Amino acid sequence: NAGVTQTPKFRILKIGQSMTLQCTQDMNHNYMYWYRQDPGMGLKLIYYSVGAGITDKGEVPNGYNVSRSTTEDFPLRLELAAPSQTSVYFCASRRDRASNEQFFGPGTRLTVL
C-alpha cells in the first residue's frame, strides 16, 4: 500500500492563478481531510469528506473548493491564488467513524507570489 499520496510536492503560483492539489489514498478509507500548516500554527482544517459525494467545510475553507467523486481521490482546488494561501498542505485519511487515527500524506509546499 502506498498510503496517502499527494502531488505535486512543490509549486509556485502567481497571484490569481488556479491549481488543483491532488490527494489519493489506497486504504479504502471513508474519511479524508485537507489541512494547511503555517509556521508555528499547527494544522488548520480546510475541508473534509466522510465519504464519496459528501464534503463539508472545516475551519478555514475560504478560497478553496473540494470534490469527492470516488473513495480514493480528494482534490483541493484553489481558484484565485492569493499570497495568504502560501502554506504547506497536508491531506489525511481515516478508516471510518469508529477509528481515530488519521494517516497523513507527505504534503505539498505552495508559494504564491
Partner 1 sequence: EDKVVQSPLSLVVHEGDTVTLNCSYEVTNFRSLLWYKQEKKAPTFLFMLTSSGIEKKSGRLSSILDKKELFSILNITATQTGDSAIYLCAVSTTGANSKLTFGKGITLSVRP
Kindly tell me which of 38 and 79 has the beta carbon lying closer to partner 1.
38
Kindly tell me which of 2 and 40 has the beta carbon lying closer to partner 1.
40
> Shortest distance, CB of residue 106 to partner 1, whole angstroms?
5
> Shortest distance, CB of residue 16 to partner 1, whole angstroms?
29
Kindly tell me which of 35 and 112 has the beta carbon lying closer to partner 1.
35
Q: Is 41 left (phi over 0), alpha (psi -120 to 50) or beta?
A: alpha
Strand partners, 103: 93
CB 49 within 8 A of CB 55: yes
Kindly state the cell numbers that stand for 110: 505552495
> Shortest distance, CB of residue 94 to partner 1, whole angstroms?
9
Binding site for partner 1 (CB under 8 A): 33, 35, 40-45, 48, 50, 56, 58, 90, 97, 100-107
> Shortest distance, CB of residue 77 to partner 1, whole angstroms?
20
Kindly tell me which of 14 and 101 has the beta carbon lying closer to partner 1.
101
